[in-house]
Chains A and B, each alone.
Chain A
Amino acid sequence: MTDKNLLCEVLCEQLLPARQRLHQSWIKNGLIRALNRLMWIIPVLSLAGFVYIWITESGQNIKEVLFVILFAGLLWTGIVCLWVWFHRPDWPEVACHIDQATNGHNLVAIAYEHSCLESVSLFARVAIWRGLDLLNSADMDRFKPAIIPVQKWRVACGGMVLVLLWGLSLWIPSRTDILGGSQNNRIVSADSIADSMLQNQPQQMQSVSPPPAGQPRVLSQQASNKSVLDEAMQNITKLAGLSNKSLSSPEQAGTQPSQATPTQSGGGVSARSEESSKKENIAVRPPSKPDKAGKMSEQTMQQENISNAPQKGVAGKSPDAESDIKALMAAGGIEELSEQDDAYWDRQQQQQNAPSGIGQKPELSDRQSAPNRELGLSGKPGDKAGDGRGGPGMIKKSRATASALSATTIPVQVKGQTQPGKSKSYTQSLPLSATESAGTTYDQAYNAASEGDISVYIPDSQWNSTIEKYFLNLRKANF
Chain B
Amino acid sequence: MQQPIDMKQELQSVTALMNEFQRAFQALRNEVRKNFVGQETLVDDVLTALFAEGHVLLEGVPGLGKTLLARTLAASLQLSYERIQCTPDLMPADILGCMTFEETDHGAHKLAYRQGPVVANFVLVDEINRATPKTQSALLEAMQEGQITVGTRTIPLPQPNIFIATQNPVEQEGTYPLPEAQLDRFLVKLKVHYPKPQEYHRIIQQTTGVQEPQIGAVLDGERILSIRKTIRQVEVTERVLNYAINLVVASQPQNSTLDLVRSHVILGASPRGVQALVKTAKVRALLDGRTSVSCRDIRDGAYSALRHRMMLNFSAVSSKVTQDSIIEAILDKVPEVMD
Contact = CB atoms under 8 A, between A and B. Distances in A.
B235 A127 contact: yes
Interface size on A, as a range, is: 20 to 34
Contacts of B11: 126, 129
Interface in B283-339: 285, 288, 290-292, 294-297, 336-337, 339
A96 B296 CA distance: 13
A129 B235 contact: no
Contact of A124 (B235, B288, B294, B295): B235
Interface string B88-114: 000000000000000000000000000
Contact of A129 (B10, B294, B337): B10
B305 to A, nearest CB: 18
Nearest to A106: B294
Interface stretch (B162-170, B190-198, B236-244): B236-244
Contact of A110 (B14, B237, B336): B237
B181 interface: no
A457 B101 CA distance: 100
Contacts of A109: 237, 239, 337
B13 interface: yes
A105 B286 CA distance: 12
B234 interface: yes
A105 B339 CA distance: 18
Given A121-B235, A123-B233, A114 B3 contact: no
A313 B261 CA distance: 70
A130 B336 CA distance: 21
A6 interface: yes
B41 to A, nearest CB: 18
Nearest to B299: A104
Interface of B: 3, 7, 10-11, 13-14, 233-235, 237-240, 285, 288, 290-292, 294-297, 336-337, 339
29 contacts: A3-B3, A96-B337, A104-B296, A105-B290, A105-B294, A105-B296, A105-B297, A106-B239, A106-B336, A107-B294, A109-B239, A109-B337, A110-B235, A110-B239, A110-B240, A113-B238, A114-B237, A114-B292, A122-B13, A122-B14, A123-B14, A123-B234, A123-B235, A124-B292, A127-B235, A127-B292, A129-B7, A129-B11, A130-B290
Closest 9 CB pairs of A and B: A105-B294, A127-B292, A123-B291, A126-B291, A113-B237, A106-B294, A110-B292, A126-B14, A124-B235
A125 interface: yes
Contacts of A105: 285, 288, 290, 294, 296-297
A123 B233 CA distance: 7
B10 to A, nearest CB: 6
B240 A106 contact: yes
Interface string A2-27: 01001000000000000000000000
A128 to B, nearest CB: 9
Nearest to B293: A110
A105 B233 CA distance: 18
A123 B3 contact: no
B132 to A, nearest CB: 43
A122 B233 contact: yes
Contacts of B14: 122-123, 126
A232 B283 CA distance: 105
Interface centre among B10, B290, B291, B294 (most CB of A within 10 A): B291
Tell me the dominant secondary structure on chain A's binding face.
helix
B298 to A, nearest CB: 10
A4 B292 CA distance: 17
Contacts of B290: 105, 107, 127, 130
A390 to B, nearest CB: 43
Given A106-B239, A114-B237, A123-B291, 17 more contacts: A6-B3, A92-B239, A92-B337, A104-B296, A105-B296, A106-B240, A107-B290, A110-B235, A110-B292, A110-B294, A113-B238, A123-B14, A123-B233, A124-B235, A125-B10, A126-B291, A130-B291
A127 B282 CA distance: 13
Nearest to B284: A105
A462 to B, nearest CB: 77
Given A113-B237, A121-B233, A126 B10 contact: yes
Contacts of A106: 239-240, 294-296, 336
B9 to A, nearest CB: 10
Nearest to A10: B3
Contact of B292 (A3, A96, A104, A123): A123
A2 to B, nearest CB: 12
B295 to A, nearest CB: 6
Contacts of B240: 106, 110
A91 to B, nearest CB: 12
B141 to A, nearest CB: 33
Interface string A114-142: 10000001111111011000000000000
B13 to A, nearest CB: 7
Interface in A74-120: 92, 96, 104-107, 109-110, 113-114
A123 B292 CA distance: 7
A121 B337 CA distance: 23
Contacts of A122: 10, 13-14, 233
Contacts of B3: 3, 6
A57 B253 CA distance: 57
A63 B13 CA distance: 76
Contacts of B239: 92, 106, 109-110, 113
Contacts of B339: 92
Interface centre among B3, B14, B285 (most CB of A within 10 A): B14
A125 B9 CA distance: 11
Contacts of B292: 110, 114, 123-124, 127
Nearest to A121: B235
B259 to A, nearest CB: 28
A134 to B, nearest CB: 11
B110 to A, nearest CB: 52
A96 B234 CA distance: 21
